[in-house]
Amino acid sequence: MKKTLNIKSTYGASLKLCMIGQYYSAITPFSTGGQPVQIYSLVSDGVPVGTASSLFVNRFLIYQLVVTFYSLFMFIIRFNLLYTEAKLALPFVIIGCLVNIVILIMIFGFLLNEKFIRSLLSKSIRILHKFKIIKDIEKSEEKMNNTLLDYKTSVEEMKKDKKTTLELILVSIVQLTIGFSITFFVYLALGFEMGHFLDIIAIQSLHYMAVSFMPTPGTAGAAEGGFYMLFKVIFPKKILSFALMLWRFIDYYLRVMIAGLVTLIDFISRKKKVSIN
């Protein structure tokens, strides 16, 4: 994607940028901290703000599209399993799917009817202002307009380079499958035989949707509760808690430690460069 936007970079630099984003996403509510820091990092390296924003908006759009349809597909093919074995978790899964679908509708609806979406968002800002959730209407509307402009520009870029867009969709599918497979390898590590792969992938994708709208950093609390509610179908009760701790350590804490170390090294490196200059 960097090549499409004419951003000169190496694989190592791209990996570092990804790790920095992972770290800040993991420690902020709704995973909102990653992209702003990544954009700031690129701008610090001389990339124009508009180009840097476009890069991550493109990535967000593609990822959001893929994860929503991926999870919906799994929801359809494994609905009976959820309905019979995990009824308590089903409402959270449905709400999570609906939230992500609404986000996609809003994004792509803007491209079809810009005036309507702008009006809808402006009214939403004013309603939130009445409830004291938003303090500065003008600042919020300015931010909204800039964000919508970024989305519009990014989609135009995606239309121009369909090959890269398709490649990113495929990469996102592989990325999600690998991430959702962690629980399967935990399952094998605990001594169980091969099996349940598709069930575990399906449940993990729906677990992601169910907790993605939770406002805690790293979806703390919701992730653990959701895992316990959904994966009691797969793991025996006596080792479910251990499976939960092992999965959470690999999926979240290990990621935070590795990405945090990379972020710290990058911070020290940038400080040294500033001191030299």
DSSP assignment of 236-270: -HHHHHHHHHHHHIIIIIHHHHHHHHHHHHHHHHH
Q: Which residues contact 242 (CB under 8 A, 6 or more apart)?
A: 190
Domain of 211 in residue numbering reads as 53-247
pLDDT single digits (tens) 73-114 = 999 998 888 888 788 888 888 898 898 888 888 877 776 777
Q: How confident is the model at residue 277 (pLDDT cuts 50, 70, 90)?
A: low
Q: How many CA atoms lie within 13 A of 125 on its CB side?
A: 17
Rounded to 5 degrees, φ, ψ at 191 are 95, 5
Domain count for the chain, please give it. Answer: 1
Q: Judge whether 2 lies within some domain.
A: no
pLDDT single digits (tens) 94-104 = 898 898 888 88
Q: Judge whether 266 lies within some domain.
A: no
> What type of residue sits at position 9?
S
Q: Which residues contact 21 (CB under 8 A, 6 or more apart)?
A: 34, 35, 37, 38
**pLDDT exceeds 80 at position 6:** no
**pLDDT exceeds 80 at position 195:** no
**pLDDT exceeds 90 at position 66:** yes
Q: Judge whether 205 lies within some domain.
A: yes
CB-count burial class (<10 Å; 0-12, 13-18, 19+) for 163: exposed
Q: Judge whether 29 lies within some domain.
A: no
Tell me the percentage of the chain whose pLDDT exceeds 70.
96
Token pair of 242, please?
């251990």
Q: Judge whether 28 lies within some domain.
A: no
Q: Judge whether 184 lies within some domain.
A: yes
Token pair of 23, please?
């770290």
DSSP state of 231: G
Q: Judge whether 166 lies within some domain.
A: yes
Q: Judge whether 203 lies within some domain.
A: yes
CB-count burial class (<10 Å; 0-12, 13-18, 19+) for 175: middle
- pTM for the model stands at 0.83
- Supply the mean pLDDT for the chain: 86
pLDDT single digits (tens) 34-45 = 888 998 888 888
Contact yes or no for 172/62 (Cβ under 8 A): yes
In 3D space, the residue among 4, 3, 16 whose CA is nearest the CA of residue 44 turns out to be 16
pLDDT single digits (tens) 139-187 = 888 888 887 777 777 777 777 778 888 999 999 999 999 999 999 999 9
